[in-house]
Structure 1
Amino acid sequence: MISDTEVKALLADDLRCIGCGAKIQTTDPKAVGYTPLSALKKGFDKEEVLCQRCFRLRHYNEIQPVDLTDDDFRRLLSQIADTKALVVYVVDVFDVAGSIIPGLHRFVGHNPILLVGNKVDVLPHSVRRSKVKDWIRQQVNIAGIHPEEIMLTSAKTGDDIGPLLDQIEQARHGQDVYVVGVTNVGKSTLINQIIREVTGQRQEVITTSRFPGTTLDRIEIPLDDETNLIDTPGVIHADQMAHYLSAKDLKYVAPQKEIKPRTYQLNAGQTLFAGALARFDFIQGARAGFTAYFDNNLMVHRTKLTNADRFYEQHAGGLLVPPSEDELVNLPPLQRHEFKTTMKTDVVIEGLGWLTVPANTVVAGWAPKGVSVLTRKAMI
């Protein structure tokens, strides 16, 4: 086993956690990068130098809070503007609005952006990829972000990683590659897939979790003798649906399997609840089918519009879950957004899913205050 003297020498030489990139330290259990000395020595023997936080996350799927602010994350990202590099910007196809990094152009400077739409594997097969790309481009353009190219992939399954790597190699022109994104878009999982594709290494290298915010500092992965693929911390976006849910309820906003559509025949004056997280009111129009695209385990309940407010008050946290009753206090009040459709339209609750509604209807979508409710031309 490695000696205490050798460990201290390595610590003095800027030893980093292979999971999150934080500098390893053995003195302050509450600070970033802490690991007990005994655990660190065992880690060397197993060639697995992990901070205590990443060790518990990897082996027990437990997240521990860290004292890093949004400003800390943004300071790390701001270094990109001073370099010449390719920026790979990862967004969640289910939460494009929640994936927007405000002021991204200031962080990346004049560097080109390759945008990656992740989690495409859970979209119904009937969704055309060209429509998904068009939708993403429209949303990021509104935010002043103009990517050179948009690629769709699944970090979970590894689908389309080869074509993505080809595109990265073509676009980087021998320069470093920075991977950026808000928390919970699957950025570190994507990088793990890239490492597997390039090296054939099967073991997970970068700490990944459903929990937002697991990469604490930049992590450099060599692409060749002179350039690196650099994973940056996820920027915390407070309006993401995932931030309002406990660990056990995150599965409802992060589907793991292909979503199966559910169609409901509705008359005007009826309401659909998606757990306690969202609500759709059919206000005006002829009887028609409305198709819901949410996680397959998320229960959808139908009631009369005139009774909807009372139904929510009585059943939120009970019949209407998630969130559970004890977590309901953390959920902002639902806010109403009304739309009149002239064509078949998707009413999108960012980070949760969407409801496809027919033309010539008046509908209202409700979501926790701060979560975006948008419309788009129907994807299917």
Structure 2
Amino acid sequence: MRCPGCGAAIQFDDPKKPGYIPREVFEKRLEEGKEILCQRCFRMKHYGKLEPVEFDWDFKNQLKSYLGGFDVVVWVIDIFDFEGTYREDIAEILKGKRVIYVINKIDLLPRAVTVKEIKEWVKKRIKTKNTDDIRIVSAEKNFGLTSLVKYLSRLTDKALVVGVTNVGKSSLLNKICTHENTISPFPGTTLGILKRKVKEANLYLYDTPGIMTSDRILDLLDPECQKRVLPREELSRKTFKPDNGRTIFMGGLCRFDIHFETEKNPIFLLFSSKEVTFHETRRERADELMRNRLGDLLIPPCSKTKFENFKWKRETFTLKEGEELAVAGLGWMSVRRGPFTVEVTVPDSVKLVVREALVNPKR
């Protein structure tokens, strides 16, 4: 038997895979002669909730199968976690489509950073010539949403919406769409998507499941901790001017060991959620803190956690003024005075990226 919503074969074993339904629910609905939807499709139909899916090769093929019906794709990206939410593998799949890059959560950045600056920065990062296709928004503050709808309406009457988990895709769509949702199965696919009508516009947006990743600090946290540390207001930022050999923690899962040979101490800022601990200490004390204070003094994680629960890696970078070191799913270091060397310790899967500064170092 297959689910009529998404076409996946009904199965009772793995809630993370397509077609899952609890056996007792299946038997009850079968006995009552009611429609049998898999758990994912049931939640979509009755609650408008899309379950996230892992971004493996199977889902990449699923995404490709959706694209045939659309000329325009809306890709929602989190400006706070640009490195974790703008992904080269997704960009490769979307080649040949008109992609509208919706850069969300700009309310988290310092107010001195202008929309024009954000657009120019994103334009360089995604290597596009068309700045108009970069739409700067804040779903939380209703900024840029009217302009986004008008822009999309001029281009098409339907668009596919994609994005990884926690970028604010659902919040954005809830602001601009009605709450009447329908499941739209696509031939040959095993994942249904939600068809949503945009308010006061001849435009339908087809919402796909949030894509789960595995290279962000956020991915290593339980759902409650994710909810706690996801920033919902302007980012916390703190300036450091450390002596040689000092260690700075950004939470318990990211450690910076600082080295320099210049006369003047380096100066840098850390940007992250207000719930993330910034802590400076001596190098010799840092090892003890990592082994004994994860989830206690150093948050995230949000509860007492053993150092041995993670496989760790160390990477070394030389940073200069005007550069940032981004830690996917956590925040970034922004250099005001350099150069200096930083040895970064994070869980093995976490992506680290050196980039041109998003926040102007002269500010």
Q: Sort the TM-score into its range (normalised by shorter chain).
A: 0.7 to 0.9
Which of 178, 183, 192 does residue 217 from structure 1 map onto? 192
**Aligned letter for 2:357?**
K
Q: What is the SS of the residue equivalent to 1:266?
A: coil
Question: What is the distance in 2 between the residues matched to 1:13 and 1:309?
Answer: 52
CA contact (8 A) 1:153 1:161 kept: yes
- Is the contact made by 1:178 and 1:230 (CA closer than 8 Å) also made in structure 2? yes
Q: In 2, are the aligned partners of 1:81 and 1:110 still within 8 Å (CA)? A: no
1:8 maps to which residue? none
Task: Please tell me whether the aligned partners of residues 195 and 206 of structure 2 are also in contact (alpha carbons under 8 angstroms).
Answer: yes
* Secondary structure of residue in 2 paired with 1:137: helix
Q: How many residues align?
A: 334
Distance 1:54 1:241 in 2: 32
- What is the CA–CA distance in structure 1 between the aligned matches of 2:192 and 2:337, rounded to whole Å? 48
Aligned-partner residue type, residue 219 of structure 1: L
Write the letter of the residue equivalent to 1:336: E
Give the corresponding residue for 2:353. Answer: 374
- One-letter amino acid of the structure 2 residue matched with residue 354 of structure 1: W
Contact (CA 8 Å) 1:113, 1:146: kept in 2 or not? no
> 2:72 aligns to what?
86
Mapped to 1, the partners of 2:75 and 2:129 lie a distance apart of 10
- 1:120 aligned to which of 102, 106, 112: 106
In 1, are the aligned partners of 2:240 and 2:267 still within 8 Å (CA)? yes
Q: Deviations over 1:56-110 (max 9, x none)?
A: 997xxxx9998x7734422331124423421111111122222134443553352
8 A contact 1:267–1:287 mirrored in 2:
yes
SS in 1 for 2:112: coil
Q: Confirm or deny: 8 A CA contact 1:178 1:229 kept in the other structure.
A: yes
Matched, 1:179 2:161: yes
Counterpart of 1:190? Answer: 172
1:153 and 2:175 matched: no
Change (3 A) 1:334 1:154: farther
Which region of structure 1 is more displaced relative to structure 2, 235-244 or 307-316? 307-316
Q: Gaps (5+ residues) in structure 2?
A: 183-189
Counterpart for residue 162 of structure 1: 146
Look up the match of 1:51.
42
SS in 2 for 1:320: coil
2:334 aligned partner, one-letter code:
T
Change in Cα spacing, 1:309 to 1:133, as seen in structure 2 (3 Å) is farther
RMSD: 4.1
1:154 alignment partner AA: S
- The answer on 1:335 being equivalent to 2:314 is yes
> Match for residue 259 of structure 1?
235
Structure 1 residues 303, 356: closer, same or farther in 2, change over 3 A?
same
Which of these residues, 60, 63, 68, is aligned with residue 77 of structure 1? Answer: 63
Contact 1:317–1:328 under 8 Å retained in 2: no
**Residue 361 of structure 1, CA deviation:** 2.7
User: Displacement, 1:294?
Assistant: 1.2
Q: TM-score, normalised by structure 2?
A: 0.75
CA distance in 2, matches of 1:269, 1:13: 59
State the Cα distance separating 1:311 from its structure 2 match.
3.6
C-alpha displacement at 1:145, in angstroms? Answer: 11
Deviation (angstroms), 1:346: 2.7
Give the fraction of aligned pairs with identical amino acids, expressed as a percent: 24
Q: Which amino acid aligns with 1:104?
A: I
Instruction: Report the 3-state secondary structure (helix = DSSP H, G, I; strand = E; otherwise coil) of the residue aligned with 1:121.
Output: helix
- Does residue 239 (structure 1) correspond to residue 215 (structure 2)? The answer is yes
Is this contact kept in 2: 1:272–1:302, CA < 8 A?
A: yes
